[in-house]
Structures are given as C-alpha cells and as structure tokens.
Structure 1
C-alpha cells in the first residue's frame, strides 16, 4: 500500500503510563493547541471534554500527535463525518486512531514528524483505504442484520484497522464475526456486555446513554 521509500521500522513497543490527571490533560490540550495548524483542529480541541481528551491522549501514547498528524487527522475527519451530531472530538480521536492503526498494521511505526511532511501522498492512500472500508461495511449492513453497531463509521474503521487488517480478514469477515458473537450468550463485566466464542470477543457498552459495539477482537490482541 505504501511506498518502499517511506521510513520503516519493524518493531513496536507501546508506552504504558498512568491515567493522566485533569490538570495534566488541560496542559496536554494547551500543548496541542500551540502546534495545531488549522482553525478546525483548534476548535475541535477546545471543545473536547475531559473524557475525550483522555481518549486522545491514550491513543497518542504510541504515536504522539504532531502538527502534520493533526492536519491529516482533521482532513480525514472532515471528509468522513457527514452527520453534524458526530462532528466532535470523539470522532476526531477515531480518525487519528484509524491513521495510527492503519500505519502500524503495515509495519510503519515510530515515525518522525519529517516522515509525514515528506510523504504527504500517504494521506490520500489512507483516505482511499477508509472509504473502501466504509463502502464494504455499508454493503454488509444493507444486506445483513447486526443487532448493535459501533458509534459511527470512523469508530468501526479504526477497530477494523487494529483487529482485522493485521490478521488479513476482510471487512465482511470481520462483521460476520461480530454478527456471530452477538448471537451468542453474554456476561456482564466492567459495565459492559461481553460475548465470547473461542478466541474471539465482542464488547458492547453504553456511550452517552446509547448502546454501541465497542470492540471485536481476538482475546490476545485486545
């Protein structure tokens, strides 16, 4: 998918940190605001709630946000979010995570800011990848019933990029697994409903009072 001339590093060791405090999250927001290059990104970050900031910071632990990455994230966000109700920092975080997971799934990790500056064509490839995933997901949903879905297509796409692409399964196969899991028995765990079959797990929970599919993954790849 990506040019062989791009910077490549084959190993990846995610950082593990304690949950940030509210004060540190405000400082983190200010740090991002100081380097963002667009009014749209600035507005999204200013509007982010503490839980949304915490989600952004968590995703960024193994791919720190830079000016270019934020610009790419905002471009994907603007092209993919059609519903005004979804134009929020949560979906912006999902756009960022889709970019991160798509790169990591193909072995592109620990990339410096200069890599993104010199490989702007990769953004177009990521956009094409997202819209292909969206098209396949919508086609599946049009012909099949699934009892609960992710909180928006960006949320689905970033989970598929993380849990489907690395093991080589298609969008249809990933959604068929979700469908299969949700038809089985469940148990309550950590305020979520867990569906398990063999090595696979689906997690369903509430977000803003609505029930959504939060993840579908192999247990050892959670």
Structure 2
C-alpha cells in the first residue's frame, strides 16, 4: 500500500494552502477521526469483559501516537499511516487469526513498502531508510487489532504457535536475506567507500533532532539499530494482548 501516492492526492486537494495551515488541518482531521473511533467503540469497550486490559492498551497506544506525532512526524499528513495500517491489520486478521502475528506481519509489510520506496521509487530523494514510518505503521496495525479486540464477540483461533506460523517463517526468510546482503557487502548500515554497497543511512543526522531548511519543522530520524530495538519492544508489548483478552 504505497502511502506516497495517497500523500500526493492529499497534497493536490490542499494545493495553495500554506504548510502551517496544511499541517494543522491534517492534524485536526486525524484527531477527529481518532476521537470519533473511540466514541463509536466506547459502548462496546465499557461492556467488554476485559475492558481494563483494553483501556490499558488503548491508553498506551494513544501515548505512542502522541509520541509519533511529536517526535517522528515530518508532516502531520503522515497520520495516514495509522489509518492505512489499521485497515490493513483488520483485513489480514481473518487469515492470520492472531493479534500478535497480525501486528508483526503488518510491520513486515510496512518495512517492505519502505524498502520499495527507498531503493527503487525515490532513491535519490531520501537520505535514510525510514524506520520512523515502519514504527508508525506498527502503531497503526496495533490500532486495527485493538478495534478487532473490542468488536469481536469471539476471537479467531490459530492452531499454530508464533514459532510455527507463516509469519515467523516469513520473518526468518527476510532476516536471512538481509544478513546475506550484509555478508556479501551489498548492504551496509552507514556509508562506506565501496560505491556498490547500498547504505541504510546515506547521511547521518548531526544530532537527535533534524531541522531541515524551509518552514520550521523538527523531528527525530530513527537509526537502524534504534529502530529494530523499538519495533521488538513494541511487538513484545502487544504480544500479551491475545492471552489477556482470552483469559
């Protein structure tokens, strides 16, 4: 699901609007959608037998969303990631039948989308593989899973554990491919002298915050090891959801 195309459509709709107003409008729209979603779900949520668990996860997810907006977003239009990957998670859950695996698979799909953009779609317009977006996609998938956990009267049951699932095997395959690319010096973490090597980070940020030229904007560029750590921690955090909802 190439979100860049969605961004182009939205940019055309707001053509002629200043960057500050465009940023404010997209933030207000995203906030309105999120608040409406919570209002629609509130009746089901407070009647749910595991409402305390769900309220805890919703609260944590709202915190993660706020952190993404204030730390990872370059423009507020990136909130479209939350909607896209929430819908994507809802669509693939019936096939996977497990909340944790749904989030992991959606995160892998988001990472592959970023690979496509970074190495093929816009290799000359990007200075780094966008771990920010992968993390935002994960949070979007988690929102979709929480919506399902709230609405479903009976959870679907997968007859396979995570370590025997298609998601795990696919994750292992992706990991082996990446390790092979590093092993054959086709891929590197940071720029190297070998021009044939593709770097995940072409230009290393000077500090924690990146402030590009033009209208003022401040955001943090997530580095590779940092991104992997955050993704693992978030997946482990949401991995308890299946057992807690079923109990």
Shared fold by TM > 0.5? no
TM norm structure 2: 0.27
The structure with higher relative contact order (CA 8 Å, sep 6+) is 2
TM norm structure 1: 0.29
Q: As a proportion of its length, which structure holds more helix?
A: 2
**Looking at CA atoms only, which structure, 1 or 2, has the larger radius of gyration?**
2
